[in-house]
Copies of this chain bind each other. A is one copy, B any other.
Amino acid sequence: MSAYAALAEPHRRQILDLLLDGERPAGELVEHLGLSQPGVSKHLKVLREAGLVAVRTEGRQRVYALRPEPLVEVDRWLEPYRAFWSKRLDALERHLEENP
């Protein structure tokens, strides 16, 4: 699954947001999400396959960490759009200056 498709699901974005604060074992993610354990595990699988998270086994726990590389790609895709909307904002500013 592509990074874009992985990000389409709100719970998966929430998982990534949680991992921004640092790595966490799967169980901790389950606590925060209010989803069933198997449900979270499925989402983690999708995120793994999209390369958005990495797992490490530590004792009986599976510790998940953020892998931002696929997001870099999304960020690059957005690049030309940033030019587009800042152009628009500039035009708005000029308009406001000329019509105060």
Contacts and interface: CB of A to CB of B under 8 A. Distances in A.
Copies of this chain present in the complex amount to 2
Given A4-B7, A8-B4, A74 B78 contact: yes
Contacts of A88: 68
From DSSP, what is the main secondary structure of chain A's interface residues? helix
A71 interface: yes
A81 B85 contact: no
Interface in A1-30: 2, 4-5, 7-8, 10, 13, 16, 20
Interface residues of A, number: 24
Interface of A: 2, 4-5, 7-8, 10, 13, 16, 20, 66, 68-69, 71-72, 74-75, 77-78, 80-82, 84-85, 88
